[in-house]
Each structure stands twice: as structure tokens, then as C-alpha cells.
Amino acid sequence: MAFRRIATSFGWESLYLLSSRWPLALLVGSLVLFAGATAARWRVPLYEAEARIVLEPPSPSGGLPSDPQGWELSPSNDLFVAAEELRSAALLSEVVGSLALPSGWNVKAADDLTARLRARLEVKILPAAGCLIVRLSDGSAADASSLVNAIADRFVSRKDAEAIAQAHVRVALLEQEIERRTKELDAVGVELVSIAGGAGGGSHSAQDERRRLVTLENLIRSLRAKLQLAHLETGAVKGNARVIEAASPDRAKVIIPFWLSGPGLVSTGLCAGVATIFLMALCAPRSRWRVIADLMERFPLHFAGFAPIGPSGGLTGRDGSGSILEPYRELRNRLLRLPAGDHVWMTMMPLRRSEPGREAIVHLAAVLADSGHTVLVIDADFRAPSLHSFFDAAHHPGLSDYLSGEMRLEETVIRTRRMNLWFMPAGPLHADPGGLLSGKRMDDLVRELRSRFEFILVASPSIHEVSDAVVLAAISEFNAIVTPYHGLSLRRLRETQIAFETVNAPFSGILLTTRVNPPRGASAATSGATGARVSSSGSIPPAQRLGEPGDDFAPSSTKGSK
């Protein structure tokens, strides 16, 4: 639930926050960049040195007894075991004891010193090459190199000591074997003496014992030769580990943390700037009136405001929800103060065709009509007419029928059941809608309608999509953009301003649509088509044509002064 509230408050609205307060983000990012650069300059650098250790395949055991558990290390297992040994506290404590690290690092406890050394140590395994890369960082290249070399040398010395120990074990095993075979040889000799002195000794048993005696003598001579060779090898035995590339201060690299590097400082600064904007917005929420004031300041506008839309898209009645009516009444008050004469011709268009905004046009027209002003709504979007559904009418005959000369004006304008509110549908799509709007009958229509109505609100397609909107914008005294508040694009609004300036048309206002949920019990007051008065039973009476007998076409007696 909390995440949903945050997403609702800062979802699309965050784009507006970032675009409107980007100087603050830039300032915070610059401060972070400056502080990081200062810290990087005064920070004591760390140098990283590395050494390479290769593990050679183990030599044959020379006839020694195999591992009693029957498991031998494979080369890959040997590498991982060696890596763990390099990171072991036992080996590092030996290195700490042999070097003057306590005075250099200002750490007295041996365990803390070993822990710090282990934290700076990195061992990388290269199974394909059969080697280990040992890396370590320190305050200088020379210290880092000496530490890495000390660890590598200590590891190699350990492996050499293990090999020497294994050689001594081999010598001891050979000596034990010779001693055992010698005792066995002595026993065979005693047995032969007893057989020779005995009265009942058989020749067959004596012959077997002599043959066994010869075999033991040969075996003992062989074992003594191996023992002699083992003694010779013990003095020159080496472990299977050797350093193939020692660390050198010339190859040491300076370690720069990511947050102190150039990309890291830029990223940290941008994140800090964005976080500052959102924290400020969270601690001091930005009012919607401030948003309107910013828009009117960025784009010199005559008016700007919010246009709530209910979930059903229907028109709210006179006694409907105040959360829907009040913003339109505020817009009406702003329109009544426009620098115009007795009549206002205003074209209202969306930024994009997919954006909802037709309901806002009809809501505003209804509020103007409820205040006693004669209002005509014209649907000039020939390609995608939609306003007729709000007035419970067909989309033709309408504007295109009049402009093409096929019908009279009185046959194309609908008088709705709402007092002072009229509607002209779009009519069928013509082959050249822009040509119809640029013709002489359009000029006649403008003069005629201005003499009959106080407010003419024209629903136009987006100026970025079709050329019809360019003609309508040039004709109008005022042009307003209808766009959703959540998802407001300042870049798109600037493009629209440039488009209006290109055709010498005024950019007068912005209506920001928002979705609202009316309170319970207001469904009866808010149901129905937008342009028709709702009856007591809740159904919508059909609209009437102005051309029918008994109807007056916006009589001048109904026109009020603004």
C-alpha cells in the first residue's frame, strides 16, 4: 500500500519534478563531484601488485604406499586447495611475523593485522593455465610488491618443506622395509639351520627355504639401492609450486574506488541530485497551484488549470461532486477574464491522439452553459470524431456537411437538453478536410457563429499529427492544449509552442486532465451523456435539431455579458 501511494505521488509526476528542478540536481551533482575530486586528491592512494604461482604436476611416488583413503588431488582440486592455503590465517601470520608490518600499519594486535592483510589479499585461480594470481594492495608500490612476494615465497617455501618431509618419510619407509626384510632373512637362515640339523628334515622344504633366502637377499639389495637414491634426492627435492612472475613496483597499479573515479563521481552526483529533489518534494510537497504557476511562467499563457475526469467519462451535474466541478469553475472564471470581446472562439487539442481529453472539453462547456453563457461545442476531428457520444447524437450530419454546401447551418447544429449548450458534430470524412476548413464557407461560419454564441469551443486533432489542426489554430483567437497531468511532457509542450508560433497562432492555455473517483452516492448525478441534462429517472432525453419548428438558434436575449 505504501509503495502504491509513492508510485501515485511520484510516478509520472516525477518527470515533471526532474524537468522543473534540474538546476537543483545539477547543483547537488556539482557539489558531489567537487567533494569527490577533493577527497580523491587528498586520499592516500593504494597500489596493487600481483605475482603468479604455477603448480606443477606431482611427481611419481617412487613405489611408496598410496593414500590409505584412495583419494588423490587432481590439478584443479590442487589449485583450489592452494588458493585456500594462500588465504589461510596460518600462512599470513607467518608473513606478518617475518615482516615489520605492525609498525608500518599502526596495528598492534597480531590477529587484527592478519585480518587486515587477508582483507587486502586477492587470489585468482586460472585452471586452464594451472596457476594462481596473488594480488595485494598497500600504501606504496614497493610495499605492495614486497608483501605479495613475501606471501608467494612463504607459500613456495611451505610446498618445498612439504616435499622434503615427504622425501624423509619415503626414506623412513624404505629403512623400515629393509629392517623388516632383514629380520625375515634372518628367520629363513635359522629355519635352514634347524632343517639341516634335524633327523627327519625333507629335501623339498630345505630347497624352498633356500629359494626364499635368495629372493629376500635380492630384495634387500634393491631396497638398499632405492634408499641410497632417496638419500641423494632428499637434498635436492623441491615442491610443486614455483613463482613464475614475481611482483615488481614498476608494474603496480593505483587502485581508485569506483565512487572516486570520473564515471563514479558523475553517477553519484546525479543520484544525489535526483534523491535531493525527491526528498524535498517528500518533505515539502509541491502544490498543484505551483505547477500551474510554473507552466504559465515557462509558456506565456492566458490560463492554465486542472480538468478532472470521472471514471465513467460522463458529465457531472450542477449538484455533482465538488472535486470535479470546482476546477472547471476556476477555469471558467479564468476564461471570463480573457482579453477578448463579446465572443470567444477557442480551439482545444490534445498533445497526442491517444491522450484522453474530450471529456474535459464537454465538462468545461457544460459549466460555462450553467453560468448563463451561450456555448457551442464543435467536433472538428473528422478522422476520429468522438464528442457525439457525449451528446447522444450521431456524428453526421455536421461540420463537413455544412462546409461542403450540402446542408444549412440550422440542420447541422444540435440543441441539447442542457440550457445554453449546443453541439455541432464532425460529419462524414471529406477527401480534403484541410481544404474544407480553408474555404470561404468556413469564414462565413466563423462570422455567423460569433454573432450567435458567446463561447465556441472547437475540438481539434493534435497539431503534431494532421494539417487540419494548423488551419483551426490559425482561425482561433485562443488555442488550448489538453494533456494528462500524470505524464506531462515539457519537451512536447515546447514543440507545440514552436508549432503555434510557426503558423502565427496563439498558444493561450493548458488543461491538465486528472482521473478522480466521485464519492459514493454521486453516481446518479454523474451518469449520462455529457451534453444532455439528466432527467429525474436518470435516463437521457434525445437531443433536438435547431432546425425543428419552435426552436430558436441562440437568440441574442440569452447572451450574457462576460
Looking at the DSSP bridge assignments, the partners of residue 154 are none
Q: How much is the pLDDT for 48?
A: 85
Q: What is the pLDDT of residues 110-145, one digit of tens each?
A: 777 788 888 888 888 888 888 888 888 887 888 888
Residue 523 placed within a domain: no
For residues 79 and 181, state if they share a domain: yes
- In this predicted structure, the answer to whether residue 486 has a pLDDT above a threshold of 90 is no
Residue 9 has pLDDT above 70, yes or no: no
AA identity, residue 132: L
Domain presence at residue 27: yes
Contacts of 249 (CB under 8 A, 6+ apart): 47, 49, 140, 141, 142, 144, 145
The pLDDT of residue 376: 95
pLDDT (0 to 100) of residue 43: 66
Q: Flag whether pLDDT at 381 surpasses 50.
A: yes
Q: How much is the pLDDT for 488?
A: 77
Domain that holds residue 129: 46-64+73-253
pLDDT higher for 70 or 226? 226
Looking at residue 17, its pLDDT comes to 57
Domain match, 50 and 195 both: yes
Q: How many helices (H) and strands (E) does the chain have?
A: 19, 14
User: What is the predicted pLDDT for the residue at 560?
Assistant: 42
What is the tens place of the pLDDT at every residue in 503-544? 999 999 999 988 876 555 444 334 333 333 333 222 323 444
Mean pLDDT of the chain: 77
In 3D space, the residue among 308, 299, 305, 407 whose CA is nearest the CA of residue 360 turns out to be 308
Residue 482: band (very low, low, confident or very high) from pLDDT cuts 50, 70, 90: very high
Calpha distance 360→349 (Å, rounded)? 11
Q: Which of 427, 429, 431 is nearest to 413 (CA)?
A: 427
How does residue 5 score in pLDDT terms, banded at 50, 70 and 90?
Answer: very low
Identify the weakest region by mean pLDDT among 280-294, 295-309, 431-445, 480-494.
280-294
What's the CA gap between 201 and 24, in Å, rounded?
115
For residues 217 and 265, membership in a common domain is answered with no
Residues 6+ away with beta carbon under 8 Å from 228: none
Instruction: Determine the Cα–Cα distance for residues 518 and 258; give it in Å rounded to an integer.
Output: 52
pLDDT tens, 146-156?
Answer: 888 888 888 88
Q: Do 191 and 232 lie in a common domain?
A: yes
Closest listed residue to residue 516, CA positions, set 342, 308, 237: 308
Percent of the chain clearing pLDDT 70 (strictly above):
75
* pLDDT score recorded for residue 454: 93
Instruction: Tell whether the model's pLDDT for residue 42 goes beyond 60.
Output: yes
- Residue type for 404, please? S
Same domain, 202 and 271: no
Q: Is 36 exposed, middle or buried (0-12, 13-18, 19+ CB in 10 A)?
A: buried
Task: Look at residues 283, 299, 327 and tell me which one is the last residue of a structural domain.
Answer: 283
| Percent above pLDDT 90 for the chain | 17
Decide if 549 is inside a domain: no
pLDDT in tens, 260-309: 677 777 788 778 877 777 776 666 556 677 888 888 888 999 999 998 88
pLDDT band at residue 480, thresholds of 50, 70 and 90?
Answer: very high
Of 466 and 546, more confident: 466
Same domain (yes/no): 240, 300: no
Query: Whole-angstrom Cα distance, residue 325 to residue 499?
Result: 32
Lowest-pLDDT range of 136-150, 303-317, 340-354, 417-431: 303-317
Q: What pLDDT, on the 0 to 100 scale, is given for residue 449?
A: 92
Task: Say if residue 267 is in the same domain as residue 355.
Answer: no
Residues 360 and 504 in one domain: yes
The CATH number of residue 513's host domain is: 3.40.50.300
For residue 5, tell me if it sits in a domain. no
Per the structure, the count of domains in the chain is: 3
66 confidence band (pLDDT: 50, 70, 90):
very low
Same-domain status, 385 and 410: yes
Asked if 184 and 218 count as a contact pair (C-beta separation under 8 A), the reply is no
The contacts found for 181-190 with CB under 8 angstroms, 24 or more apart, are 181/216, 181/219, 181/220, 181/223, 182/220, 184/216, 185/213, 185/216, 185/217, 185/220, 188/212, 188/213, 188/216, 189/213
| 84 and 198 both lie in a single domain | yes
Let me know whether 84 and 129 are in one domain. Answer: yes
Within a domain: 99: yes
Between 242 and 423, name the one with better pLDDT: 423
- Dihedral over alpha carbons 288, 292, 294, 298 (to 10 degrees): 150
Q: Judge whether 377 and 387 are in contact, CB under 8 Å.
A: yes
Specify if 341 maps to a domain: yes
> Of the given ranges (14-23, 339-348, 380-389, 421-430), which has the lowest mean pLDDT?
14-23
> What's the pLDDT at 104?
57
In a domain, 452, yes or no: yes
| Mean of pLDDT values over 237-249 | 83
Q: What is the pLDDT of residues 301-338, one digit of tens each?
A: 999 999 888 765 555 555 555 667 888 999 999 999 88
| Same domain as 162, residue 85 | yes
For residue range 174-190, what is the model confidence (pLDDT) as tens digits?
A: 889 888 888 888 888 88
CA distance 120 to 46: 10
The answer to whether residue 194 sits within a structural domain is yes
Average pLDDT over residues 18-37: 72
pTM: 0.53
Lowest mean pLDDT among 4-13, 34-43, 508-517: 4-13
Q: Between these two residues, 532 and 91, which has the higher pLDDT value?
A: 91
Q: Say yes or no to pLDDT of 218 above 90.
A: no
The terminus-to-terminus CA distance of the chain in angstroms comes to 47
User: Can you give the CATH number for the domain in which 53 is found?
Assistant: 3.30.1890
Strands 455-459, 421-424: parallel, antiparallel or unpaired by DSSP? unpaired
